[in-house]
């Protein structure tokens, strides 16, 4: 595995590989890696000749400064995991490399309703930060294929819109959610849960499963109310429970033949967890 810290060095090396006919897969991360991240790398390695992984905790996508300060940094564990997984290139920039002019007065993006629904509503500015860092990473790596986890369902939609906006010929692959044995979606934030909170956190999976089991036979408001009861019984402070159109994330009044998804965001103590589950008729 080759490690780069400078975008210029990374770009020169990748351009040489590109001219040699190598296809490039890219897995962007914030570090604190787990099996879910490794699954993205495995998919990339099966699909492309070279897999690039980045680790960068992007300050502009944290609308809560305390959340940014507490985000786990575990490079001493992450790097051996990436080597074992067979990553070809690790890009490890610092803030100055990504934002040489600083992080104020940055460009903004028209994200339409995605910026006012669900994560957009509860984390104002978050998706602008996602686009700011993703545009820089994508232009530095110029991958043929981009691999992202479906747990961040709305973020995948935002990144797809970004790709269309900036006109990069990169194909986005939304990869399956990996879960622990008890159903909890794998997340870097899980390590911040106390043992009691970790046990309670499975309520998100149970709430989503209840919605999936009841859909489409039961009215959506009844499904959402039942999910809220499950979450509150598990000690969660809920931001939202939504049954939404899978293409737009607009809330659904009833079953949709065009696809639906249940999405949840809720706090267990100070730790905010998100999850989702696609629904079928």
Tell me the catalytic residues: 37
Q: What is the DSSP letter of 250?
A: P
CA 91 vs CA 58, 62, 117, 137, 170: distances in Å: 14, 21, 32, 9, 18
CB atoms within 10 A of CB 280: 9
Say whether 186 counts as a known binding-site residue. Answer: yes
Residue 218 annotated as part of some ligand binding site: no
Q: Beta 237-245 vs 260-268: how paired, if at all? A: antiparallel
Q: Where are the beta strands (DSSP E) in the chain?
A: 2-4, 24-29, 50-55, 89-91, 145-149, 171-175, 237-245, 260-268, 271-279
Strand order in the sheet with 260-268: 237-245, 260-268, 271-279
Q: Does residue 94 have a known ligand-binding role?
A: no
Say if residue 47 carries a ligand binding annotation. no
Has 206 been labeled as part of a binding site?
Answer: no
Q: Is 144 annotated as a binding residue?
A: no
Residue 188 assigned ligand-binding role: yes
Query: Any idea what DSSP says for residue 40?
Result: H
What size, in residues, is the chain?
A: 281
Nearest 10 degrees: Cα torsion 246, 252, 256, 262? 50
Q: Is 1 annotated as a binding residue?
A: no
239: its two tokens: 């931001």
The answer to the question of whether 152 is labelled as a binding residue is yes
Q: Give me 176's structure tokens.
A: 């399956």
Q: Is 178 annotated as a binding residue?
A: yes
Instruction: Check whether 148 is labelled as a binding-site residue.
Output: no
Please tell me the distance from the alpha carbon of residue 127 to that of residue 130, in angstroms, as a whole number: 5
Q: What are the binding residues for beta-alanine?
A: 61
Q: What are the binding residues?
A: 61, 149-152, 155, 178, 186-189
Q: What are the binding residues for ATP?
A: 149-152, 178, 186-189
Q: What are the binding residues for (R)-pantoate?
A: 61, 155
């Amino acid at each position: 595995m080759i490690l780069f810290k400078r975008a210029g060095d990374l770009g020169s090396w990748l351009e040489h590989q590109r001219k040699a006919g190598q296809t490039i897969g890219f897995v962007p991360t914030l570090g604190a890696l787990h099996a879910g991240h490794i699954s993205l790398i495995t998919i990339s390695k099966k699909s492309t000749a070279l897999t690039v992984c980045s680790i960068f905790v992007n300050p502009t996508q944290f609308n809560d400064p305390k959340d940014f300060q507490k985000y786990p940094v575990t490079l001493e564990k992450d790097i051996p995991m990436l080597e074992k997984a067979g990553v070809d290139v690790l890009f490890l920039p610092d803030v100055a490399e990504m934002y040489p002019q600083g992080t104020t007065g940055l460009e903004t993006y028209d994200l339409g309703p995605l910026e006012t629904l669900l994560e957009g509503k509860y984390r104002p500015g978050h998706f602008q930060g996602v686009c700011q860092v993703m545009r820089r990473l994508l232009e530095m790596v110029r991958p043929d294929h981009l691999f992202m986890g479906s747990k961040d369902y709305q973020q995948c939609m935002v990144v797809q819109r970004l790709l269309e906006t900036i006109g990069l010929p990169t194909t986005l692959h939304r990869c399956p959610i990996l879960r622990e044995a008890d159903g909890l979606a794998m997340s870097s934030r899980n390590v911040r849960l106390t043992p009691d909170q970790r046990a309670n956190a499975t309520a998100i999976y149970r709430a989503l499963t209840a919605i999936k089991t009841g859909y489409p036979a039961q009215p959506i408001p009844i499904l959402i109310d039942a999910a809220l009861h499950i979450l509150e019984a598990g000690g969660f402070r809920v931001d939202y429970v939504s049954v939404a159109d899978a293409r737009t994330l607009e809330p659904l009044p009833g079953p949709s033949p065009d696809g639906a998804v249940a999405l949840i965001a809720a706090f267990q103590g100070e730790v905010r967890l998100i999850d989702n589950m696609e629904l079928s008729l």
